[in-house]
A and B are shown apart, each in its own frame.
Chain A
Amino acid sequence: MSALSCDGVRVSLGGTPVLNDVSLALQPGWTVIVGPNGVGKSTLLRVLAGLLPPAAGSVTLQGRALADWPARERAQRLAWLAQQGEARGELTVRDVVHLGRLPHLGLFTPPGPDDEAIVDDAMASTECSAWQHRPLQRLSGGERQRALIARALAVQAAVLLLDEPTTHLDPPHQVALVRLFQRLARTQTVVSVLHDLSLALQADRLVVMQHGRIAAEGAHDDPRVHAALESVFDHAVRVQRVGERFLTLPNLDD
């Protein structure tokens, strides 16, 4: 049984088809969704998170239709990180990370010592403990992103859906995040949309999208995935093996 799957999903936004017959089965591990701008990556993530009902098709979480889960129980199993830009207000980093415990506590139960420990762990994972009492609004883009990722981690959900989690992060923190995802992926299902293809190639699996469909899907070392990557990006990138890893390079040849 897949942790999370969708079957025959179709979505139109403002009359324009965005997802067209998309089927996907996600297992524990780290899966990255890649593709050019506007192919429906974020829309697919929102459908998988239950935030956007598909016009056709179904989404299943742990063997049960996503729509049939009570909202709180679903939120305990499925954490979601939005593309940055929406967060506002005067909450401190710690307040924000605490919100990750809402699905477990509800509105009226105060957090206990276990919740505090989970919040501390989540902040330590993304290295934001040092400025946990600073308001989110007064942080740099990268610091804010690390706080928001910690908020998603604090849910301790079986499935993590992350829309462009490396946005605004500097290279050391991008690398730290990749290592964190690889560690989490041993027990959890981590799904992220990424634009950095070299980082994407460090995931267990890649889903390559084009024109609202899945063009290819497979392991990070699958030559068919590499070919699809080069093709959907119009051969502007080249997949190359460097030691044990695969990376992409810009194709600057005429």
Chain B
Amino acid sequence: MLLSTLLLVVAGLASGSEGWSLPSLWGPDAPLIVGQIRAPRTLGAWLVGALLGLAGAVAQGLFRNPLADPYLLGAASGATLAVVLGLAAQALAGHYISLSAADLLSRAGLVLGAFLGALGGVLLTLLLSRGAQHTTRLLLAGVVVGVVLGAASDLVTTVAPDALRGKQWFMLGSTSFLGWDSVLLLSAGALVCVPLAWRLARALDALTLGIDSALSLGLDLPRLRLVLVVVLALATGLAVAQSGLIAFVGLVAPHLVRRFAPSAQGYLLVVSALMGGTLLLAADVLARLLIAPQELPVGVLTALLGGGYLLWLLHRRGIE
């Protein structure tokens, strides 16, 4: 996996709007194009994938369900609503402030808004489920929050149709806006989330024996669940804020790790993060190259590849 990641990093640095070109790595425009555009995008895409892979593994361990994904607790719908509200406000404010100021405000505001929206969605889920004591209640609350906030987003776009196109781009996911500031934020998030999840991995191990068995081992499950939900929300919120709703990476990465390297949760969490990073980077390079000089939304590609993989898995299991 390390080798494929390294190759993908090189591919990411050499892939641009004119397609694949190794000489572009040392050409006269390299410091600008590679250093300021492709390098942060490549690293950022890997970090977004890593955070989603980690969040997916945490969600699947926490809910003891291999179909759980990072967006289950309202992070996606919360972030979408915040972005839609931001876009609607931007359309309104655009009439009163200069174009460059509006652009700067909108970029910074949308990233922050999406992050806070994701955290707000999870917080609302926690409030509705009265904490993290019961996983079923937590899951149901997550579904309700997803539906209600989704409806609220639709309502805003009905009133302010200008926000519709931006919402669509956000929901498709994109890595094209990732800069060095994003890489810095995502790295900081990964440095907090991965070690924290690693430290709590034995609680997830105990949960594989069942909730009663985990309780009988003296674990304070309500508090541990809460910390894990915070890790989940933080990792998902950071990823979503930087690149929109990228589908399937968080769901598929832990599946791939379990299939090819089954292990205890500590290893599973870390390798799922690495796998998530590799998957998204591969999808990002493909998205840049497939129809160059045009670019595919990377979320469309991850959904197609991830969905295809899960269908293949179902088919194989059916045969076995």
Contact = CB atoms under 8 A, between A and B. Distances in A.
Contacts of B265: 89
Interface stretch (A5-13, A14-22, A70-78, A182-190): A70-78
B209 A95 contact: no
A135 interface: yes
B137 interface: no
Contacts of B263: 90
Interface in A60-79: 71-76, 78-79
Which of B208, B215, B263 has the largest number of chain A CB atoms within 10 A? B208
A102 B209 contact: no
B254 to A, nearest CB: 10
A86 interface: yes
B212 to A, nearest CB: 5
A99 B206 contact: yes
Interface in B65-101: none
B212 A107 contact: no
Contact of A95 (B205, B210, B258): B205
B216 A78 contact: yes
Nearest 8 interchain pairs by C-beta: A75-B218, A86-B210, A89-B208, A90-B262, A72-B218, A80-B216, A103-B218, A71-B218
A95 B208 CA distance: 11
B218 to A, nearest CB: 3
B216 A51 contact: yes
Contacts of B199: 107-108
A96 interface: yes
Interface in A212-249: none
A82 interface: yes
Interface string A74-117: 11101110100011111110011001101100011000000000
B217 interface: yes
Interface residues of A, number: 33
A90 B264 contact: yes
Contact of B264 (A76, A95, A102): A95
Contact of B210 (A49, A71, A87): A87
A188 to B, nearest CB: 16
A46 interface: yes
Contacts of B208: 87-89, 91
Given A90-B263, A91-B205, A99 B217 contact: yes
B209 A87 contact: yes
A59 to B, nearest CB: 14
A91 B207 CA distance: 11
Contacts of B226: none
Contacts of B202: 99, 102, 107
B210 A79 contact: no
A107 B203 contact: yes
B144 interface: no
A96 B263 CA distance: 11
Nearest to A103: B218
B220 interface: yes
Given A51-B212, A82-B213, A90-B263, A71 B220 contact: yes
A49 B218 CA distance: 11
Interface string B158-194: 0000000000000000000000000000000000000
A103 B217 contact: yes
